[in-house]
Structure 1
Amino acid sequence: MVKFQFDQPEFDRRTLLRGALGAGMIGLVPSGAEAAVPVSFRSDPFTLGVASGDPAPDGFVLWTRLAPEPLKARGGMSAQPVEVTVEIADDAAMHRILRTERSIAYLELAHSVHVEVEGLAPGRDYFYRFRAGGADSPIGRARTLPAPDATLQQLRFAAAGCQRWEGGYYSAWRAIAEDQLDFVFHYGDYIYEYGFAATDKNGAPWPRTMSKDFPTCYTLTDYRRRYALYKSDADLKAAHASCPFLVSFDDHEIANNWASDSDPKQTPPEAFLVRRAMALQAWYEHMPVRRAQRPRGPDVTAYRGFRFGTLADLAVLDTRQYRSRQPCGDGFLPGCAEADGPGRTMLGAAQEQWLAARLKGGDATWRVLAQQVLFAPFDWRGFPGIEDTGAPVADVDTWSGATAARDRVIAMLREAKADNAVVLSGDLHRALALELHRDWRDPASPCVGVEFLSTSISSPGGAPPTDAALAAMHRNNPHLKFFSDQRGYTRHTVTPPNWQAEFRGIDSISLPGQTVQTVQTVQTVRTLTVEAGRPGLITR
């Protein structure tokens, strides 16, 4: 039996603030009292593309945002509501229209629309386009989930994230679009909140930059403009149009290394929660998620589950909103005893109970935890800037900052008899494949699952500087079976007997993927396989 016991902070001030924000400022759906007005756009209102997401066996969410001038404060739109039509077809040319849905785009939601489509057939492709003011959007491809009891023979998807605009071009997203997958899991860091900078921390010019009028994000307008900039990228738009996204968020959607109601600057909670509310509102406005994910002030229910027939059950987790603050002042630290406190959490009590019940009630072949940060323990000695004092060095912004929480999840998997457990993660701007052990203090204890951590789309990483340091990293982490500092993504192919993960690397992100001068290519750096019923990684 998994028991839950956490340190309980005082919530009175936060509860009051959440109530005030939810009731009076952020996250409300307009009443619809003001009628939509006829419009005629003089330029393309669909500059940010289209997207589908959060599929169900009978439907999915379809998203777009009207923004003829996307980097302006209101996207170039007036205050009036606008009627938006979406057509759904069963062919890519949109000749056989099956359904037409209508929605209203309101300024209060940045003229975004989230159409929740129902009544479709399970396990098949559909195509869609939006229409507004005499303009047509690009055509997108969506896909419903298979029926819950369907015997699915194959599932293909990508895990990707960490896409800092300045870090480089989005060639990996173009490759993902060309893969024509069943879905993409975006683990977070969709945007970065930092202000304009011409050079990186080493003084080298960024491959591309934002304009100088992009400050650090604090206000709703700041966050909306940042999403508009990122979503204007043609490669990212192509990926969104190619298949459904299951999206989460990590820290940079709000502020680097935020945790619960705090940020590393020790901003008072009553101030930080206002910023969090603005950031989550902008996140909702730009993501293909359901009304259930609409923020209530600074709160949003981001954890949710998806079942792919009897083949896989995927739980999208939230490791930011409910976690304990980072121990020992945050950072890469040797010997932080506070990290081992029994009351520390990454998910919070309610989400842990939800996950335990979902795992215990599941019967799919593969049980998948799709979340944001490194789950397995990791010793960072040998990396640039990490002092080696002889003691293991942990990044306490990961699950290593709440080791008891990791133990509880391992116990959940054991109690649920989840023999084929797979954890998906990101955040570190490197690709890792690791084996998970029943007792993280004992590398010889039984393997209970695997973790695939995807590298970044464009955000810079880093690696041990010498072969000797790289060898030491592997000695210090015997559960680590693969490491790469190359930019890219992970492509997964799941069947009843095998899980195959391909780490896909991009040649270069310093130039656009398709130019007269160069054509960027993507290649499989390493393929790893897990056999059902035999926890552990096989390298090919």
Structure 2
Amino acid sequence: MSKLILPDMNRRLLLRGAAGGAVAALAAACRLPETGASSARGFRNDPFSLGVASGDPTPDGMVLWTRLAPNPLDPDGGMASEPVEVAWEIAEDEGFLNIVRSGVERALPGQGHSVHAEIHGLPAGRTYFYRFHAGDATSPTGRTATTPAFLSGVDRMRIAWVSCSHYEQGFFHAYRDLVEENADVVIHTGDYIYESSWGPQVRRHAVPEPYTLADYRMTHALYRLDPDLQAAAAHAPWLVTWDDHEVDNDYAGDVAEEPHVGLADFRERRLAAYQAYWENMPLRRRSMLERASGRMRVWGETVFGNLAAVYMTDGRQFRTPMACPTEEDRGGNIIARDCPERLDPERTYLGAGQERWLNSSFGRSGARWNLLVQPTLFSPFYSADPETGALTAWSDGWDGYPAARQRLIDTFAGRPESNPILLGGDTHCYWVTDVKQDYADPNSPTVASEFVTTAVTSHHTNHDAFAANVPDFPHIRHFDARERGYGLVELTGQRAEVTLRTVGEVKRRDGREKRDQARFVVEAGRAGPQRA
């Protein structure tokens, strides 16, 4: 099939779909047996204030998301503590003249009245439109798609990937721009929300730093109220993972960055954050938080015919705590590269389970391109201690886990036909690098290509200092921390074209101005990005 071209959604966000008799007819046709859930209640305010989204597409379906919140910044979203029936429908056309699936979900108070409708049985490689109904209210219309059939022919596709969207530090121009670029899939590499206030602020969080489930629900609601985020969420299916700020800065499993915070207390905070994340993202029920184990699965593989396989990973939940912490800080620190704990071969960034999964699965779907999505910069970048001259490492990134990084590099090196590309975020900078089999040897083979996007809004203050060190790392092809934006990947069977898209001044609502900072090409069968 050709590119998964999806029609323009700009005006559709204002639609509320069919009204009056059509809504009543749908509710009657989809009515469930009496369950105690409210299905005919009216809402004083729009219960679909947070918009709609879809995610985790497969050849026969996807998950459709919304969350009822007539008063979105209230702790309970303005909802009573009772279930509510929410009808959904999927059509082949935006006018909903040809509805192909419909059903009803129960939005439960224990799940923030969120809806995660898992759809199955649709034809592969098709575009669809969807919406929800609750009481007398109808949601905005979203657009989604099933993935092409396994190993079926796909001519091209366009992926947008984003990272680090701090609400207070700017407006989400990147989200609006990727809608105009008609991305087929949106990938978020993490820091989708921020728990803390810092840096320059042009708007404010609605609640102080979150610690409870209600706090995190309100923080997610504030972000979801943003019109540019709503447009991007409704535009195409999303694939998501988290980094640290969805919970707390620089955490690792149940270990907080602050030494005075006990494991049990931080675990409760983490579970609250994870629960709110599931409630507010287009994730399947298999990703629901398991409270007994304290685990939640966000990692997995999505395959797009014979063209691409995307591997989403989780770099926070299962990692070994940071090496060589100080008495004041267990989070990320600049540490000596010869720190014995850092060099321990048993240390893991992704956890043993994800490492086994990637070792057995990566590059084996038959797809031409294999994209590994992980939160941050993968390749080494470091400096020397200004007083001693000793080389240092940043303990929170892959440089704090060199043995784990090498194990992943060895996987890439063993499967050169997989055309591996790494996508990352976190650092609020653009990076383009050669992934080397041995970074200590500049002549070592390049085994993969790495692209790290800048932040949607989150600021960076050290461009000049970083840039001064870049020439010491010949594997780095491009670096820039001065602009905000996102990345676009255009895939064909012959090449991957990567655009580093900047979006102008995020501190102003009217400051959006798109520009391509740089463009790179990776040729199939030849690892390493080349400047276009």
TM-score (norm 1): 0.87
User: What RMSD in Å do the two structures reach over aligned CA positions?
Assistant: 1.7
- 8 Å CA contact 1:255–1:263 kept in 2: the answer is yes
Deviation at 1:418, TM superposition (A): 4.3
Aligned-partner Cα distance in 2 for 1:71–1:124: 36
Please name the residue that 2:204 is paired with.
209
Aligned-partner Cα distance in 2 for 1:453–1:333: 23
Please name the residue that 1:118 is paired with.
120
Aligned-partner Cα distance in 1 for 2:462–2:44: 49
1:486-501 correspondence to structure 2 within 5 Å: 486-501=483-498
Aligned partner letter, 1:414:
A
1:458-473 correspondence to structure 2 within 5 Å: 458-465=457-464, 470=467, 472-473=468-469
Aligned-partner Cα distance in 1 for 2:45–2:180: 28
- 8 Å CA contact 2:417–2:525 kept in 1: the answer is no
- 8 Å CA contact 2:54–2:236 kept in 1: the answer is yes
Deviation at 1:37, TM superposition (A): 4.5
Partner of 2:362, secondary structure, is helix
2:502 to 499, 502, 505: 505
In structure 2, the CA distance between the partners of 1:164 and 1:524, relative to structure 1 (3 Å rule), is same
1:300 to 289, 296, 300: 296
Determine what percentage of the aligned residue pairs are the same residue.
39
Aligned partner letter, 1:276:
R
1:232 to 225, 235, 241: 225
Aligned-partner Cα distance in 2 for 1:490–1:389: 38
Please name the residue that 2:376 is paired with.
373
Aligned-partner Cα distance in 2 for 1:391–1:451: 27
Please name the residue that 1:523 is paired with.
515
Please name the residue that 2:285 is paired with.
291
Aligned partner letter, 1:422:
I
Aligned partner letter, 1:255:
D
Whether 1:249 and 2:242 are equivalent positions in the alignment is yes
Aligned-partner Cα distance in 2 for 1:74–1:219: 12
1:142-181 correspondence to structure 2 within 5 Å: 142-181=144-183
Please name the residue that 1:364 is paired with.
367
After superposition, give the CA deviation of every residue in 1:245-293 in whole Å (9 maximum; x if it has no partner). Answer: 0011110111101112101113222221111111100000000011110
Please name the residue that 2:9 is paired with.
none
Aligned partner letter, 2:87:
T
Deviation at 1:448, TM superposition (A): 0.4
Aligned-partner Cα distance in 2 for 1:104–1:245: 23
Whether 1:444 and 2:440 are equivalent positions in the alignment is no
Deviation at 1:390, TM superposition (A): 3.4
In structure 2, the CA distance between the partners of 1:505 and 1:122, relative to structure 1 (3 Å rule), is same
Aligned-partner Cα distance in 2 for 1:396–1:422: 24
Aligned partner letter, 1:316:
M
Aligned partner letter, 1:509:
V
Aligned partner letter, 1:227:
H
Aligned partner letter, 1:63:
W
Please name the residue that 2:256 is paired with.
263
- 8 Å CA contact 1:502–1:528 kept in 2: the answer is yes
1:98 to 87, 97, 100: 100
Deviation at 1:391, TM superposition (A): 3.8
Partner of 2:376, secondary structure, is coil
Please name the residue that 1:28 is paired with.
none
Partner of 1:166, secondary structure, is helix
After superposition, give the CA deviation of every residue in 1:146-177 in whole Å (9 maximum; x if it has no partner). Answer: 10111111010111021111111111111112
- 8 Å CA contact 2:363–2:418 kept in 1: the answer is no
Aligned-partner Cα distance in 2 for 1:47–1:57: 30
Partner of 2:463, secondary structure, is coil
Residues matched between the structures, number: 488
- Structure 2: state its 5+ residue gaps: 1-33, 326-331
After superposition, give the CA deviation of every residue in 1:99-139 in whole Å (9 maximum; x if it has no partner). Answer: 11211111111110000011111112100011111111111
Aligned-partner Cα distance in 1 for 2:410–2:398: 15
Aligned partner letter, 1:72:
D
1:59-98 correspondence to structure 2 within 5 Å: 59-98=61-100
In structure 2, the CA distance between the partners of 1:356 and 1:390, relative to structure 1 (3 Å rule), is same
Aligned partner letter, 1:281:
Q
Please name the residue that 2:28 is paired with.
none
Aligned partner letter, 2:166:
R
Whether 1:342 and 2:338 are equivalent positions in the alignment is no
Please name the residue that 1:318 is paired with.
314
Aligned partner letter, 1:308:
F
Could you tell which deviates more after superposition, 301-310 or 34-43? 34-43
Aligned-partner Cα distance in 2 for 1:325–1:80: 40
In structure 2, the CA distance between the partners of 1:136 and 1:177, relative to structure 1 (3 Å rule), is same
In structure 2, the CA distance between the partners of 1:380 and 1:490, relative to structure 1 (3 Å rule), is farther
Aligned-partner Cα distance in 2 for 1:506–1:393: 33
Deviation at 1:336, TM superposition (A): 4.2
Deviation at 1:335, TM superposition (A): 2.3
Please name the residue that 1:5 is paired with.
none
